[in-house]
Structure 1
Amino acid sequence: MPPNKQAAPGGLIGRGAELGRLVRVLDAAAGGLAGVALVGGDAGIGKTRLIRELIELARRRDFVVLVGQCAELGDALPYLPLTDALRGAAAEPGGPVVAGLAARPVLRRLLPDSDAGPSDAMTGALAQQRLFGSTLSLLSEVADQRPVLFVLEDLHWADRSTRDLVVFLTRMLQRERVCLVGTYRTDDLHRRHPLRPVLAELQRLPLVTGVEVPPLADAAMAEHLAELGDRDGDRGGDRGSDAIDGVVRRAGGNPFFAEELFAACAESDRLPGTLSDVLMARVEGLSDTAQQVLRVAAVAGRRVDHELLRAAAGLADEPLEEALREIVSRGLLSAGQRIGYEFRHALLQEAVYDDLLPGECTRLHLAFAGLLTERGGAAAELAHHYAAAHELRGAVAASVAAGRRAIELGAPAEAHQHFDRALADWAHVEDAEALTGTTRVRLTLDSAAAAADSGDYHRAISQLKRLRQLVDTPELVAETNERLAYYQADMDETAGMLEAAHTAVAALDGEGESPLLARALATRARVLWDHAHPQEAYATATRALEVARRTGAADAETTALISLALFEEATGTPERAEELLTHAAAQNSRNLSINLRARFNRARVQYESGNLEAAAKNAEEGVRLARETGLTWSMFGTDLRFLQYLVHYVDGDWTTAEALANGFGVRVGTIAEAVLSSFALFVEVGQGRPAADERLRWLEPFWPQDDFVIYMARGLAAEQALWRGDPGTAWTHVEAVLATLKPFEAGSIRMAATGLWALAELAKDHRLTAGQTQALREQADDVLSRARYAATHGLSGERAQLGPEGRAWVARAEAEWHRVYGTATPEVWQTATEAFSFGFCYEDARSRWRLAEAFLEVGDRAKARAEWLTAVEIADRLRAAPLGHALAELGRRARFSAAHDGPHDGGPGEAREEQGTVLASLTGREREVLALVTAGNSNREIGERLFISQKTASVHVSNILAKLGAATRGQAAAIAHQEGLAPPPG
């Protein structure tokens, strides 16, 4: 076939380049690098044909293929394309997806006639996190057996939860053998279309390949139509080529338009003007009965079940089948065993639907609503049909039911929309309460909860503030204000938060104890703690615990126990805090988020107390619970994962830490993902890996958005800069981090220590003027004061006690401050080393590095070498390359040899003196100095080589001259040569 025909593999004409790009993503997935392709183009341009070719190719390569399609149903069924894909996979018994679904009831529940059993208490955001995690783990599990192609068609119609799922999978898929493909119409994406920002976000990711399907070239279009004519039979002999030329000119490169024009050309000498005219001309060529059936099918949507179509059309079997045979033979509908009938193209369904008369449209929607009601159809679909039929009573009932179903499925955004739609029509339905089994106030509370669960706290808070003006019973006043304070605390909106929390509790005074009172008290305790009222918070949490236990409010009991534990930890009794958190973790609250929070805090307290073994065990237990319940990516599931990583980073098991970090995405797109990703920098920076640079590039856009990301990412960027010999950049990072931290925050101590390291390196510059040196020392004084303040002050005033790591960082900061002033002694660095000996391997080695330097400065080579050897062993084991390089440089300059086993290492430049020589009176350090004098080094150069100050070097030289009886440095060098003391190498 000549090149100008641009045939793609498999006979697809004119789309070789586009299919080639998709095949490259498919190949990468087969090789273990997950990929995402977003295929865009105008309606009818050939996206579906292109994807069909890709699917056939994937099947030939033994891929597991999942295909799901979105539908235009107003507020579409949540996760409709995922449901569609899973339903198709479930129809193939024995396949890998079926086995995976068996272990994931949250996904089985999406399927019609599911046997997943009753839903648990998990709803809203937590259920969504579980569904997302389960989808990711299912794809990963299947991909372990065979590579996966997952296609989501027509994303321009996707519900928000589906869009969020696509974003989640795009960011999380890394090394899985998964190729994710989404298609969308570019001509449907108006300026405010919700898919626009999603595409803009995803197309920045290197994992994503954008494929824009352009109009088909004229030559390719002509070849395509000629092939179509050959397949369908002669269309008029010589007249066929003229018809093709005319169609090509008219079609504008749109294959679907061209095919419809070509079909119309065979039926009429006069071609319609627009695509809609073409489509309707073909429809009007049908019999009256067939046109009626097609109009009914168009109201159902892109697909329709045979029995539902039969009932809605009101036809007997024989005329219905004749009509359907006519429609299918004309290529307007296609038949499928699983779906009944499907329009050949969405544009055809839209054209037929748009041609309906208003009354006809209303009547048919109402008919479908009635039929779906009888058959137990999906509530979201019912709500769509009732709303289109302007039947408010049915629309309100169906919208409430659809919202409840969306909550169960983990689609809070759709639930909020359904609830809001019901609230908008509520006043027009007299028996709305009896019809829905709820009240307007309760529905507003549910709507606010769904908004908060979907991340729209502003909307939730706005709804609750308006609702406060309407509620009058103590219970509703309490619940409304408690939820308001809770959501405000979640988003750090302090205005009115304390007042709302107080109102919630006050409303129940005199009403007796209840689970609602326990919850209100627990929320009030949390708010009081956030407002720095620790004593009142403690008293309130104590009362919340008592009420919760007496009323059986398990969630409030767990929350109160956590609040009390945080108080005990802050006031210096971590043992009591751990005991309370152990009780909290054992409660097994119905709210899994609270369970995970209790487990996270227990492991965190153990970690901060220096009990690394217990922390590792309990963090692993919490991660396992999160994984088993599909909550790996929930807030506390994420917290537990980075705590597990942190424990192994500290205890020196960097192999395990690195394996855990494989799940920390580099190409992050949310704050939660950025926080998790930033933890991987600990090992990456410690090992000097280039991956740290890419991770920092992805994290940088989040610096203005989240203080913790700044603390983690910029703090470790500072360490990276220091290892690379750029203390100025390091200091810039430290200043930025300290500016975001409150003076009492313990994180200030570590940042201060890093900042003082940078200032100490800057102070070594011999070009500094006296004024510049003084300015650096004043900065060091300020930074050390900041560390000391954070070490002794907490949120509520005086800090009771720091954990072992906190105390170690204080010691490190003190030692680095001495380096700025040039007054660091072995005693100072010994204190820091001992402080990190609780189990923090890497920092232990870094402290020993400086301790070895300090011992060298006072001439104690034996102790210096011992500390150096220990640090080298740890750095080698951790593969901590930057520290290893620093230790190697120290060893070279000190002439240490790791292979020498004796207690004293003279090195190649140190002669072995015999008893009675003139050099016998010199100390080991003085012999080192004399060797450098012999080599012609100045005092400044001697100080740099031996890690001592210039002044100290001068004192050593003076002592040497006195002991040798030499008047000048030259005479001392001559004596050294006579005695066999050779200058050092290099």
Structure 2
Amino acid sequence: MLIGRAAELAELTGALDDAAAGRARAVLVGGDAGIGKTHLVSALERAARERDCAVLVGQCAELGESVPYLPLADALWTASRGGDPEAGAVRAALDARPVLGRLLPDGGPGGVGGEGEQSAPDLGRQRLFGAALGLLGELGGDRPVLLVLEDLHWADRSTRDLLTFLCRVLQRERVCLVGTYRSDDLHRRHPLRPLVAELRRLPNVTAVQVRPFGRGETAAYLAALSGTPSAPPPADVVDRVHLRSEGNPFYAAELHATGELDELPAGLADLLLSRVERLSPDGRRVVRVAAVAGRRVDDELLRRASGLAEDAAGEALREVVSHQLLVPGGAGYSFRHALLREAVYADLLPGERTRLHAGFARLLADEPDGRADGRGGSAAELAHHSLAAHDLPAAFAASVRAARQAGRLGAPAEEFEHYERALELWDAVPDAAAAAGTGRERLALAAARAAGEAGEVRRAVHSLRRLLETADSSDLRLGVRIREQLASCLGELDADEEAQAMAREAVAMLPPDPPTTEHARALATYATMLLWRDTDGELPAFAEDAVSLARAAGAADAEASLLITLGRYWKRQPAKAAKAAEVIERARDLALADGSPLVAMRAMFQHAGVHFDRGDLADAARTADDGARYAHDNGLDWSTYGALLRCLRFLIRYTTGDWAEAARLAEGFGVRVTRRADAQVSAYALFLEVARGDAGVDERLRWLEPLLPDDPFLTYITRGLAAEHALWGGDPDTAIEHVDAVLASPYGAEVSAVRVAATGLQAHAERAARARAAGDGTAAAAAVAAADAIAGRARTVAVADVDGRPRGSLGVEGEAWLARVAAERRRADGVLDIGLWRRTAELFEYGVPGGGFVYEVARSRWRLAEALAEAGDRDAAAGEWRLAVQAAERLGAAPLLAVLRDLGSRARLAAPPGRAASAGRRDGGPFGALTAREREVLKLVAEGRNNREIAAELFISPKTASVHVSNILAKLDVGSRARAAALAHREKL
């Protein structure tokens, strides 16, 4: 089974096809050891034999220059054995060329087994080369020839010369020459290296580089090794093996076979170390020191840590690099493969390892934090080496410095990691507070903040709760900061009541006078919580007073946050929408000037949201793009608003119909997610995948499902789209289960529930239609009653929040979804209301004909065309249908396009009736005389439909349906509908 090598195999088989057509080709196949070159070439050999080619395969061996022409001799010896026609042809060709016969083990004096290297000149170089060319040409006269020379990195000089000769002179012979070599063995002075470069310039020579597996290919490979191709190993196993093997199939197989996912298998370690053993003592020293440094090491640091003199260190580095154990790049070196570094490190004696780490720590202790080349990282490296050298005080101090350095560089994940290490070492270090320059509680608070910024909100909440229990209660400012951060994190987790209570507690702990930064930030957090639940209507006045206090305290970040909250509040009121945008923009500028990236990102997200809600999609896209770039530049991609800005960028493109760009943005939305932050981003990809009918929807849903119970927002996104997916699959019952789950969550009381309610109404309308078709009036009435309840829920949340306060503006999209709720509610009654569906389509255009929410306009036109066709206005129906089809085709919305085509067929919107009828006729068979429309009617008769139901399905009158049935019975010469149905079933109509 060949995995992940389709392009490479296509290149090779293409060369074979050229050779078969009389255009000789040579292909040089390179790749690291274990990458799968032999497996690839074996697939080519099988393909060649299936095409009736002669196949000759020879191998080089690690014997130096002692056996000339070894691969050619091996190929000829192997091919001439046996009794098949190919062996006979090779033997005959060899008999005619004694100079080649002397290469074989039984070829007499001068053979490969005889005088070895000294015999090579006696063979007559030109005669041998000419004989080899003549043999290949003769064999190619009967059928194409594939000559494979494997492991050319071990080839002797004579073989390399023969390879050069054949590549240059083979022209019209039906010969394909393939040579393989290990690219990681081609050190700077390797004789094959310049030869490969020279041959690749020839017009008939192609180079194929076998690349490492991608993650999916590693998963498929491990499944094949396990004998379960359709069931790959668990995702964590695949991830671990792929990460450690770096896509090398041999390494992956070794890791998986032994089950040692965290340890290096002994056999693989020995194989990797064998390459190191070829080095000089100084070369081995450099490699061992580099292994202690890590995957990558600075050039100057490596030279100094090696303990070698300058000249000796330089010569040793040249040797190591030439053998491609270390690869130069930038100002340093990295191991060619992580497992090589791991093998060397594991081979060190414990004392040797400790001494080398201590040496690195001493060198790094003399360096400033960060380097002149801008790489930074010395504090983190010092912490790592100090810890490995068992110098805990130095490791602690360096970890604190590394955390602060990571914070300045905008790397919150690394900042959190370093703070966590420092906290673990706190009790083992004398006078830790002096070394850290702060107390333990404030260090833990900084760690929790970094965790939240890195997207680890639940970990932050856990740390803050623990800190709240242990912190000094007399330190009021610390208590306020803990509660304020905890309230913010709880709000992000949708624990609104607890978040508001915690924020209120923080506000009450400090008096308003004198104004303090801590109090201002607590006010800002509490105001944010009031956005979600404000039973007393205190938000606007409270926030405006708090802005003045924050300004007096000089807390620009708190002031900006309060302005954003006020802007969001005013955004709900149509008369103040312009003021909302102005205030949020002012908050953004204030936060940027203050150097408060998290507040600035919140402002950017809300500013883009204002444009989005107004239907100003171009400005929304531009603002969201700016915000996402800012988040990335500050290392905050996975902070709450960093992730939301990425999702909003995607959602805007999805809305405008730029699905190619939306798909590009969604490439980073991973499927195999385990963290809340990753999952929320992943869920957004479902908008596009469900609408396109992608095969990967079910897999994404499987990964998201375990994370839903504790995350209302994730539930809202995921299950709302899972409901649409179920509807496209013809399963309204499952769709209703998903909708009910969303409406039972906290988001069921938000305005966003209107969209999900529309999906639920569509499902109940499908249920009602099926019940009516089956004559089940009770089920139809139950579906209508359920539709009534959901429509009422949608109208309620559209006009008031959970506390009964007027909702204000729904935004252009919200108004369109509310219109669809009304249209779907009428459809549950069995009525396709032209006016309601036309209004829905118009509202989704956001006031711009041809613009707005492109996909939803097309979906609304589908129903509008259906309603017009049912009313008999076929021309208007065809116009709306064509517009919907054009949009669906451009978008690639396969499920929508399928139902549109079905509607076009049933309502005869796609072609004039005469053309459709003539196109459907067939010659011969019992149905040869039926028109296309009569075939459609007969199918419905076979399903047990009566004339009224047939008329509704095909948008014709019951009388016309009756005429069609009578014509069908006459043409089929049967006396009843039952016999016509039986005939249709028998003929599998």
Identify the TM-score tier after normalising by the shorter chain: 0.5 to 0.7
Residue 599 of structure 1: CA displacement?
Answer: 1.6
1:769 to 754, 764, 776: 776
> Residues 472-487 of structure 1: matches in 2 within 5 Å?
472-487=474-489
Query: How many Å separate the matches in 1 of 2:358 and 2:414?
Result: 23
TM value normalised by structure 2: 0.59
Q: What residue in structure 1 maps to residue 52 of structure 2?
A: none
Q: Given residue 752 of structure 1, which amino acid in structure 2 is its aligned partner?
A: A
Query: How many Å separate the matches in 1 of 2:703 and 2:359?
Result: 53
Residue 571 of structure 1: CA displacement?
Answer: 5.4
C-alpha change, 1:20 and 1:711, in structure 2 (3 Å) is: farther
SS in 1 for 2:749: coil
Find out whether 1:752 has 2:757 as its counterpart: yes
Q: What residue in structure 1 maps to residue 866 of structure 2?
A: 853
Query: How many Å separate the matches in 1 of 2:596 and 2:630?
Result: 13
Find out whether 1:883 has 2:891 as its counterpart: no
C-alpha change, 1:763 and 1:619, in structure 2 (3 Å) is: same
Q: What residue in structure 1 maps to residue 365 of structure 2?
A: 373
Residue 794 of structure 1: CA displacement?
Answer: 1.5
Find out whether 1:778 has 2:749 as its counterpart: no
Find out whether 1:621 has 2:643 as its counterpart: no
Identical-pair percentage: 37
Query: How many Å separate the matches in 1 of 2:533 and 2:303?
Result: 64
Is 2:29–2:37's contact at 8 Å kept on the other side of the alignment? no
Query: How many Å separate the matches in 2 of 1:832 and 1:445?
Result: 50
**Which structure 1 residue ranges, 5 or more long, are not aligned?**
1-7, 25-48, 62-145, 152-168, 181-195, 217-250, 265-285, 910-927, 962-968, 975-985
Query: How many Å separate the matches in 1 of 2:269 and 2:440?
Result: 51
Residue 565 of structure 1: CA displacement?
Answer: 1.9
Q: What residue in structure 2 maps to residue 256 of structure 1?
A: 270
Residue 676 of structure 1: CA displacement?
Answer: 3.5
SS in 1 for 2:510: coil
Query: How many Å separate the matches in 2 of 1:843 and 1:207?
Result: 43
1:68-103 CA-partner distances (Å, limit 9, x unpaired): xxxxxxxxxxxxxxxxxxxxxxxxxxxxxxxxxxxx
SS in 2 for 1:764: helix
Find out whether 1:643 has 2:645 as its counterpart: no
Is 2:35–2:250's contact at 8 Å kept on the other side of the alignment? no
SS in 2 for 1:817: helix
Query: How many Å separate the matches in 1 of 2:464 and 2:769?
Result: 55
Q: What residue in structure 1 maps to residue 350 of structure 2?
A: 354
1:457 to 454, 457, 460: 460
Q: What residue in structure 2 maps to residue 808 of structure 1?
A: 816
Query: How many Å separate the matches in 2 of 1:748 and 1:883?
Result: 23
Query: How many Å separate the matches in 1 of 2:897 and 2:753?
Result: 27
Query: How many Å separate the matches in 2 of 1:204 and 1:259?
Result: 21
Q: Given residue 555 of structure 1, which amino acid in structure 2 is its aligned partner?
A: D
Residue 511 of structure 1: CA displacement?
Answer: 4.4
C-alpha change, 1:593 and 1:353, in structure 2 (3 Å) is: same
Q: Given residue 541 of structure 2, which amino acid in structure 1 is its aligned partner?
A: A
Query: How many Å separate the matches in 2 of 1:482 and 1:890?
Result: 57
1:607-648 CA-partner distances (Å, limit 9, x unpaired): 223333432333333344445556555543442333233333
Q: What residue in structure 2 maps to residue 574 of structure 1?
A: 577
Is 1:362–1:388's contact at 8 Å kept on the other side of the alignment? yes
SS in 1 for 2:538: helix
Is 2:445–2:482's contact at 8 Å kept on the other side of the alignment? yes
Q: What residue in structure 1 maps to residue 526 of structure 2?
A: 524
Q: What residue in structure 1 maps to residue 854 of structure 2?
A: 841
Find out whether 1:447 has 2:447 as its counterpart: yes
Q: What residue in structure 1 maps to residue 74 of structure 2?
A: none
Residue 19 of structure 1: CA displacement?
Answer: 8.2
1:374-395 CA-partner distances (Å, limit 9, x unpaired): 4558444544666677766545
Is 2:816–2:844's contact at 8 Å kept on the other side of the alignment? yes
SS in 1 for 2:590: coil
> Residues 536-547 of structure 1: matches in 2 within 5 Å?
536-547=538-549
1:140-166 CA-partner distances (Å, limit 9, x unpaired): xxxxxx999899xxxxxxxxxxxxxxx
Residue 554 of structure 1: CA displacement?
Answer: 2.6
Q: Given residue 731 of structure 1, which amino acid in structure 2 is its aligned partner?
A: I
Query: How many Å separate the matches in 1 of 2:942 and 2:285?
Result: 102
Q: What residue in structure 2 maps to residue 404 of structure 1?
A: 404
2:803 to 796, 806, 810: 796
Residue 546 of structure 1: CA displacement?
Answer: 2.0
Residue 493 of structure 1: CA displacement?
Answer: 5.3
Is 1:727–1:758's contact at 8 Å kept on the other side of the alignment? yes
SS in 2 for 1:743: helix
Q: Given residue 796 of structure 1, which amino acid in structure 2 is its aligned partner?
A: D
Query: How many Å separate the matches in 2 of 1:462 and 1:694?
Result: 35
Residue 813 of structure 1: CA displacement?
Answer: 1.8
Is 1:602–1:618's contact at 8 Å kept on the other side of the alignment? yes
Query: How many Å separate the matches in 2 of 1:669 and 1:58?
Result: 42
Query: How many Å separate the matches in 2 of 1:680 and 1:741?
Result: 22
Is 1:610–1:804's contact at 8 Å kept on the other side of the alignment? yes
**Which structure 2 residue ranges, 5 or more long, are not aligned?**
1-27, 44-152, 154-180, 191-207, 220-233, 256-264, 370-377, 847-851, 919-932, 971-988
Q: Which one scores higher on RCO, CA 8 angstroms, separation ≥ 6?
A: 1
Is 1:645–1:657's contact at 8 Å kept on the other side of the alignment? yes
Q: Given residue 641 of structure 2, which amino acid in structure 1 is its aligned partner?
A: F
Residue 509 of structure 1: CA displacement?
Answer: 0.9
SS in 2 for 1:853: helix
Q: Given residue 503 of structure 2, which amino acid in structure 1 is its aligned partner?
A: A
Q: Which segment drifts farther, 334-343 or 586-595? A: 334-343
Q: What residue in structure 1 maps to residue 550 of structure 2?
A: 548
Q: Given residue 582 of structure 1, which amino acid in structure 2 is its aligned partner?
A: E
Find out whether 1:821 has 2:829 as its counterpart: yes
Q: What residue in structure 2 maps to residue 611 of structure 1?
A: 616
Root-mean-square deviation (CA), in Å?
A: 6.0
Residue 799 of structure 1: CA displacement?
Answer: 3.5
> Residues 416-431 of structure 1: matches in 2 within 5 Å?
416=416, 418-419=418-419, 422=422
Q: What residue in structure 2 maps to residue 594 of structure 1?
A: 599
Query: How many Å separate the matches in 2 of 1:295 and 1:870?
Result: 68
C-alpha change, 1:707 and 1:201, in structure 2 (3 Å) is: farther
SS in 2 for 1:564: helix
Query: How many Å separate the matches in 2 of 1:349 and 1:957?
Result: 85
SS in 1 for 2:820: helix
1:418-471 CA-partner distances (Å, limit 9, x unpaired): 545655666787765555433444334333334444522244214421453x15
Q: What residue in structure 2 maps to residue 135 of structure 1?
A: none
Residue 560 of structure 1: CA displacement?
Answer: 1.1
> Residues 334-353 of structure 1: matches in 2 within 5 Å?
353=349
Q: Given residue 798 of structure 1, which amino acid in structure 2 is its aligned partner?
A: R
Q: How many residues align?
A: 718
C-alpha change, 1:292 and 1:254, in structure 2 (3 Å) is: closer
TM value normalised by structure 1: 0.59
Query: How many Å separate the matches in 2 of 1:875 and 1:416?
Result: 46
SS in 2 for 1:794: coil
Is 1:734–1:755's contact at 8 Å kept on the other side of the alignment? yes
Q: Which segment drifts farther, 781-790 or 198-207? A: 198-207
Residue 522 of structure 1: CA displacement?
Answer: 0.6
Q: What residue in structure 2 maps to residue 107 of structure 1?
A: none
1:113-165 CA-partner distances (Å, limit 9, x unpaired): xxxxxxxxxxxxxxxxxxxxxxxxxxxxxxxxx999899xxxxxxxxxxxxxx
Query: How many Å separate the matches in 2 of 1:302 and 1:867?
Result: 61
Residue 831 of structure 1: CA displacement?
Answer: 3.6
SS in 1 for 2:537: helix
Residue 372 of structure 1: CA displacement?
Answer: 4.5
1:585 to 582, 585, 588: 588
Query: How many Å separate the matches in 2 of 1:827 and 1:480?
Result: 56
C-alpha change, 1:889 and 1:317, in structure 2 (3 Å) is: closer
Query: How many Å separate the matches in 2 of 1:258 and 1:446?
Result: 43
